[in-house]
Chains A and B, each alone.
Chain A
Amino acid sequence: MSAALISLACTMVVFAGGGKETSSVESGQVLRIAHPTLTQSWSPLQGGGHQVRWQSLMWAAPMYFDKEGNLQPYVISKAEPSSDFVTWRLSVNPKAVFSDGSPITAEDVKGTWDLCVIPSTKHQRADLFLGGVKGFKEVASGTQKSLSGIVVKDSRTLEVILSEPDPIFDQKIATALIPPVKISQARDANGEEKREWWHPKNKVVVSGPFMPESMDLDQGIVVLVPNPNFFGPKPKLSRIIITTVSDASTATLMLKTGKMDAHTELITPTLIDDLGADFVSGPPLAKGHHFWFDYSKPPMDDINVRKALIMCINSEDLAKAAYPKGPYIPATQILNKVPGVDPNFQKYPYDPEGAKKALAASKYKEGRLLPKIMFVGISTPTHEAAAQYMAEQWRKILGIEGVEMKADLDSYSGPDQKSVQIFRDDVGTRVPDAVSYLLGSIHSSSGNARGKMGGYKNPKVDALLDEAKTKGVKDPARIKLAQEAQRIFRDDYMYIPYYYDVMSKWAMPWVMNFDKNDDWQVIEPWNVYIDESKKVKK
């Protein structure tokens, strides 16, 4: 209903020919962003929340991945490991300066990272990037305030000592979520984050291509202007205005009529119909959604049952059931996007007859004799459509009648909570590395294996991944071992592949160069501009 009204409204507006061009101003181009929440803190040291999606506009990351996935220097110009990958020498870019023209120093980098780890800052993802640094646990638990593993050698050089070898530490710090800040401005005398130091009223200095001109936290309006001292390319936009628009229908209408150009993250059931597929399109993410079997719960303790359930599913139909208009890609193997995706991976076949045979070979023999199959993670209409498709396939092919699906475990009654066998959830990696991807998804130490797969442990898989993680990034054995681990995991029939995520740009077609990376950041904000010829004419 709302979609129809919005579409009708927009069509009328287009035909009426009223209104005026909105995003071109005399002094240059203005990018207007609708933001879904009333953000009260724009601290770059939070590592989460909606505001973090715009971090790269104001803050230069230590390093970053470009559109092609190549690691690029930014504040850190060079990261050199020792031969055993335990010590890393980081060089601060001599051109890197804050918006007041003062240099970004090694002390700023260390101070920022110390601040990210101490509990009171509440950084959400510090462990992902800095968890391997010596002394992390002490600082994260609040007993220390300085990471002993980060040593300032001189104003431009840092030495990072890790607790164990990590050949991809440089990739881990390629994120805008731990951007070096002017530490004398951000940290108070107690070594904790100063309140509202990031606000322009406190004369914040930033390092990114844009700097805040004003922040009205009560109205929810943040205005950014180009940073005159930015050490990278000159930004093409003259202004960025981020306005809180909490209501999704209002935001949709604003985007459709050209009052807004982009959104932080807009999710509505009719999004593609309202704003077009281009709005949500984007490059694939190293993240896949799958249905995981908990093999400690009957009937999933029987590999033939798992095999039968998997072979009933046509992966393309499954993804289409959830997202008939895209943009998501049907999944096959666990690995996607990262170097090391296995070209020879044998995807699970859609084979109804094979499924029947597998079930007959199980201890249950027939579908009607299986315990009730219960899903969790069916939290959106799209996931529900996918789960319904699976239930229907199982009913048609295997005669399974008892299937239940809920959003979360708490929705089940007490005894049933302990019997849930299928979890819909995603796995992925922030760094373009197959070993990291699999360590976080199928290794027995991963939360995914321990939780959703019911303590899954295949010693062969673990051994291969444990060996792979010690190999250098350029060592071909690293990928080979990872692929081998994935093949062995495949034969355990532990998951139903669902779809790979994309990093939606959530921007109208006239917003150019708005590509984002796996941290949801606009990769090169200085290149963003508005193509007026593509803009909606009211």
Chain B
Amino acid sequence: MGKYIVGRLLRWIPSIFILLLLIYALVFFGAGDPIKLIFLRAPGDVAYDEARIEAIRESAGLNRPFPVQFGDYISHIIRGDFGNSLVSGRSVNEMLSAAVPVTLQIGLTAVFFLALIGILLGVIAALNQNKLIDNLIVGFALFIWGIPVFVSGPLIIVFMVMVIGADIPYGWSGLFSPKVIVPLLVLGLNPMALIIRQARAAVLEVMSEDYVRTARAKGLPSQIVVFRHMLRPVLIPVFSQLGLIVINTLNNSILIEKVFGLPGLGRLTESAIKDSDYPVILAIVLIFSIVVMLSNLLVDIMYPLLDPRAEYKRKGGEE
């Protein structure tokens, strides 16, 4: 297993390099002049003095050829230095060290709870197939899957102020602050629908398996059948969705953090894109890519633990 993980990690290096090259090229050749874009970041801003803009571009080293700039960037990345923001001159490392923990805390907590509740609801729905409770859960899943977070976020804020008369849950005071509950809920709702549907489908499939029928025929209590015999195979398809859920969560964090004022990677992304601050954009892309790759690696590592046949196949065995 250790060899496998090291192999996977080594294979990341060219992937990340190509990704960075692509993003850097996109920004370099396609996104317009970064200095002009920085100058034009607020209404009423001006960028008409070409000579001055050229001088600023030169002072920032932006008029060097693409390979030189990219090579310079990569050499800094290798040393763990993401450079400085073009807009503020602030260290990107410093910005990330503040933003990453917030997004990670919220993202992981949301994924944990959405998985827990999603699996539970999926199992309940499957055990009550075609009954009212199944219809309610499936209907709920469809409903939340259909509402994008940029609608549900503001809607929940309006609802809270309107019905509860509560304060707007805005800002960040740590993971254990009550203010985090609503953003977590909004962040988790959408991917939870995916889990519910996957879990329900998996339970329905497992329920028709011989070993479940045998367990029931033996007279085992329902809870034992579910938790001991059904849950593990049910987790396999659910777990395989982890990569997708992580991507979804990261995407949604951009909107959630903006709406609820959370100082995480999502809000930083929005601000960097608005300002065309490409050292920040590149660093965030890199972090997002690593998180997605890590989550996929985690799935690969966990998969054989849930399904030993996967390990057997990986070692070259035939089914």
Q: Which residues of A contact B (CB under 8 A)?
A: 2, 5-6, 8-10, 12-13, 16, 18-19, 37-41, 43, 48-50, 52-53, 118-120, 122, 124-127, 137, 140-142, 193, 195-196, 217-221, 243-247, 249-250, 253-254, 257, 259, 265, 267, 447, 520, 538
**Which residues, 50 to 97 on B, are CB-close (under 8 Å) to A?**
51-52, 55-56, 58-60, 84-85, 87-90, 95
Q: Are B268 and A38 in contact (CB under 8 A)?
A: yes
Give CA–CA (A259, B43) in the complex, Å: 25
Give CA–CA (A243, B261) in the complex, Å: 9
Residues in B with CB closer than 8 Å to A37 are: 41-42, 271, 274-275
Task: List 22 A-B residue pairs with CB atoms under 8 Å apart, sorted by A's residue number.
Answer: A5-B154, A6-B158, A8-B158, A9-B158, A12-B162, A38-B263, A40-B85, A41-B85, A41-B88, A41-B89, A48-B39, A50-B41, A119-B52, A119-B58, A193-B89, A218-B99, A219-B261, A220-B261, A221-B171, A243-B171, A246-B261, A247-B153
Q: Is B202 an interface residue (CB 8 A)?
A: no
Q: Are B88 and A40 in contact (CB under 8 A)?
A: yes
Q: Are A5 and B95 in contact (CB under 8 A)?
A: no
Q: Is B172 an interface residue (CB 8 A)?
A: yes
Q: Are B259 and A119 in contact (CB under 8 A)?
A: no
Q: Which of A18, A48, A243 contacts B46 (CB 8 A)?
A: A48
Q: Are A196 and B261 in contact (CB under 8 A)?
A: no
Q: Which residue of A lies closest to B102 (CB)?
A: A218
Q: Is B157 an interface residue (CB 8 A)?
A: yes
Q: Are A142 and B155 in contact (CB under 8 A)?
A: no
Dominant secondary structure of chain B at its interface with chain A: helix
Q: Is B47 an interface residue (CB 8 A)?
A: yes
Give CA–CA (A246, B170) in the complex, Å: 11
Number of interface residues of B (CB under 8 A): 53
Q: Which of B43, B163, B258 contacts A247 (CB 8 A)?
A: B258
Known pairs A249-B154, A259-B167; A219 contacts B46 (CB<8 A): no
Closest 8 pairs between A and B when the two form their complex, measured CB to CB: A41-B88, A18-B165, A40-B88, A218-B98, A38-B271, A119-B55, A9-B162, A119-B59
**17 further A-B pairs in the complex, CB-CB below 8 A; given A5-B155, A259-B167:** A9-B162, A10-B161, A13-B162, A16-B165, A38-B267, A38-B268, A38-B270, A38-B271, A49-B87, A120-B56, A127-B52, A140-B55, A218-B98, A218-B99, A219-B172, A246-B258, A267-B43
Interface string of B130-142 (1 = CB under 8 A from A): 0000000000000
Q: Is B29 an interface residue (CB 8 A)?
A: no
Q: Are B42 and A48 in contact (CB under 8 A)?
A: yes
Q: Is B38 an interface residue (CB 8 A)?
A: yes
Give CA–CA (A18, B164) in the complex, Å: 9
Q: Are B263 and A41 in contact (CB under 8 A)?
A: no
Q: Is B319 an interface residue (CB 8 A)?
A: no
Q: Is B168 an interface residue (CB 8 A)?
A: yes
Residues in B with CB closer than 8 Å to A43 are: 88
Give CA–CA (A247, B260) in the complex, Å: 8
Give CA–CA (A249, B158) in the complex, Å: 9
| Closest Cβ–Cβ distance, residue B48 to chain A (whole Å) | 6
Give CA–CA (A250, B88) in the complex, Å: 26
Residues in B with CB closer than 8 Å to A141 are: 51-52, 55
Most buried by A among B87, B89, B171, B258: B89
| Closest Cβ–Cβ distance, residue B88 to chain A (whole Å) | 3
Give CA–CA (A89, B167) in the complex, Å: 55
Give CA–CA (A119, B38) in the complex, Å: 14
Q: Are A120 and B59 in contact (CB under 8 A)?
A: yes
Q: Are A40 and B99 in contact (CB under 8 A)?
A: no
Give CA–CA (A43, B88) in the complex, Å: 8
| Closest Cβ–Cβ distance, residue A54 to chain B (whole Å) | 12
Known pairs A38-B271, A195-B89, A246-B270; A124 contacts B39 (CB<8 A): yes
Residues in A with CB closer than 8 Å to B95 are: 40, 217-218
Q: Is B125 an interface residue (CB 8 A)?
A: no
Give CA–CA (A53, B44) in the complex, Å: 11
Known pairs A127-B52, A246-B270, A247-B154; A219 contacts B90 (CB<8 A): no
Residues in A with CB closer than 8 Å to B39 are: 48, 122, 124
**Which residues, 182 to 225 on B, are CB-close (under 8 Å) to A?**
none
| Closest Cβ–Cβ distance, residue B110 to chain A (whole Å) | 19
Residues in B with CB closer than 8 Å to A50 are: 41-42
Give CA–CA (A118, B59) in the complex, Å: 9
Q: Which of A19, A142, A220, A244 contacts B58 (CB 8 A)?
A: A142
Give CA–CA (A249, B159) in the complex, Å: 13
Q: Are A253 and B59 in contact (CB under 8 A)?
A: no
Give CA–CA (A137, B55) in the complex, Å: 11
| Closest Cβ–Cβ distance, residue A407 to chain B (whole Å) | 14
Give CA–CA (A244, B157) in the complex, Å: 17
Residues in A with CB closer than 8 Å to B44 are: 520
Give CA–CA (A167, B202) in the complex, Å: 82
Residues in B with CB closer than 8 Å to A219 are: 171-172, 261, 263
Q: Is B35 an interface residue (CB 8 A)?
A: yes
Residues in A with CB closer than 8 Å to B42 are: 37, 48-50, 52-53, 265
Known pairs A40-B85, A257-B161; A196 contacts B90 (CB<8 A): yes
Q: Is B49 an interface residue (CB 8 A)?
A: yes
Residues in A with CB closer than 8 Å to B161 are: 9-10, 12-13, 253, 257
Q: Are A220 and B263 in contact (CB under 8 A)?
A: yes
Q: Is B45 an interface residue (CB 8 A)?
A: yes
Q: Are B41 and A49 in contact (CB under 8 A)?
A: yes
Give CA–CA (A12, B163) in the complex, Å: 8
Q: Are B170 and A245 in contact (CB under 8 A)?
A: yes
| Closest Cβ–Cβ distance, residue A23 to chain B (whole Å) | 14
**Which residues, 247 to 285 on B, are CB-close (under 8 Å) to A?**
258-261, 263, 267-268, 270-271, 274-275
Residues in B with CB closer than 8 Å to A41 are: 85, 87-90
Give CA–CA (A94, B21) in the complex, Å: 56
Q: Are B45 and A40 in contact (CB under 8 A)?
A: no
Q: Which residue of A lies closest to B47 (CB)?
A: A124
Give CA–CA (A305, B153) in the complex, Å: 52
Q: Which residue of B lies closest to A194 (CB)?
A: B89
Most buried by B among A6, A124, A142, A254: A124
| Closest Cβ–Cβ distance, residue A309 to chain B (whole Å) | 28
Q: Are B56 and A125 in contact (CB under 8 A)?
A: no
Known pairs A9-B161, A218-B95; A247 contacts B46 (CB<8 A): no
Give CA–CA (A244, B270) in the complex, Å: 13
Residues in B with CB closer than 8 Å to A38 are: 263, 267-268, 270-271
Residues in B with CB closer than 8 Å to A249 are: 154, 157-158, 259
| Closest Cβ–Cβ distance, residue B82 to chain A (whole Å) | 14
Known pairs A48-B46, A253-B158; A195 contacts B52 (CB<8 A): no
Give CA–CA (A55, B253) in the complex, Å: 32
Most buried by B among A18, A246, A520: A246
Give CA–CA (A13, B38) in the complex, Å: 40
Residues in A with CB closer than 8 Å to B51 are: 137, 140-141
